[in-house]
Amino acid sequence: MLFQIKSYLKFLWNSKNEHAVHSPFIFNLLTKCFYDKKTKPEYAILKKYRKSLLENKNFIEVTDFGAGSKVFKSNTRQIAKIAQTAGISPKRAELLFRVVRYFQPNTILEIGTSLGLATSALALGSQSLGTKAKVITLEGCPQTANHSQLQLQKFNFNNVNSVITEFEKYLQEIKLRLKTETENFELIYFDGNHSKKATLAYFELLLPTITNDSVWIFDDIHWSAEMEEAWKMIKNHPKVKVTIDTFQWGFVFFRREQEKEHFIIRA
């Protein structure tokens, strides 16, 4: 906790808003998406999805393949508590919805479904445009995945393909397929394993799927010292051109036409 407090104070000291940004691409993203304060009718659906989980007092047995939890001491966890403490916040869900609607990706990959709070924002963002982009979401824990599948079906998010799998195994299979066919994800949301080793492994495995317009979002880039190290290495990768650090998330863009530039933005 102390590490995150120090990291956040450092972030606040270095962060800027749209008035200090001279890149048209980033300026438009901030003003038309990040800082869009208009209420959207879809926000009510996201709230209902969250409320349904917060009212669920059932327990599930969680198989944790990631860096572990800073909140839970046991793997037997109440669904309401998971939604309350481990899921994406309402503000972040709304931002994720706006990001999808802004970039209009046709193919979305989510690494780490959990209870589907972020998944619902990804799916709803594409449905709001009438495009119904294909959303593939990966979850390693069978009980968590089964519950999220039922929850997503309940809210008619039929453009979501939920896959129960170990993340690296699934991504290795994608890498093998790329030898004989093309496979691209226009937006990837990384929220599956908050460790340096896993994050960098996923990054390298998915690099062959990028297009010039791909948008990658890494969750919890300041989770720990090693996650900050992973974020630094991602920023320095030669294929990465533009990044945005919003403290909670790290946005990565591969736009070849842009000069390499890194932004620290309050969002």
Tens digit of pLDDT at every position of the chain (267 positions): 788 889 989 999 998 888 888 899 999 999 999 999 999 999 999 999 999 999 999 999 887 765 544 545 578 889 999 999 888 999 999 999 999 999 999 999 999 999 999 999 999 998 877 766 889 999 999 999 999 999 999 999 999 999 999 999 999 999 888 777 777 899 999 998 889 999 999 999 999 999 999 999 999 999 999 999 999 999 999 999 999 999 999 999 999 999 999 999 998
Residue 223: partners with Cβ closer than 8 Å, 6 or more residues away: 4, 67, 194
CA 125 to chain centre: 13
Is residue 151 a contact partner of residue 53, using CB atoms and an 8 Å limit? yes
Check if the beta carbon of residue 180 is closer than 8 Å to that of residue 152. no
* 3-class secondary structure, 221: coil
CA distance 202 to 69: 20
Residue 228, number of CB atoms within 10 A of its CB: 17
The burial of 19, by beta-carbon neighbours within 10 Å (0-12 exposed, 13-18 middle, 19 or more buried), is given as exposed
Average pLDDT, rounded, for the chain: 91
Q: What is the pLDDT of residues 164-199, one digit of tens each?
A: 999 999 999 998 887 777 778 999 999 988 899 999
Model pTM? 0.93
| Residues 195-242: tens digit of each pLDDT | 999 999 999 999 999 999 999 999 999 999 999 999 999 999 999 999
The end-to-end CA distance of the chain, in Å, is: 21
Identify the pLDDT of residue 1. 76
Q: Tell me which DSSP letter residue 255 carries.
A: -
Map 119-170 to HEC letters: HHHHHHHHHCCCCCCEEEEEECCHHHHHHHHHHHHHCCCCCEEEEECCHHHH
Strand partners of residue 217: 189, 251
Token representation of residue 17:
């808003």
Q: Tell me which amino acid residue 187 is.
A: L
249: nearest Cα among 20, 29, 57: 29
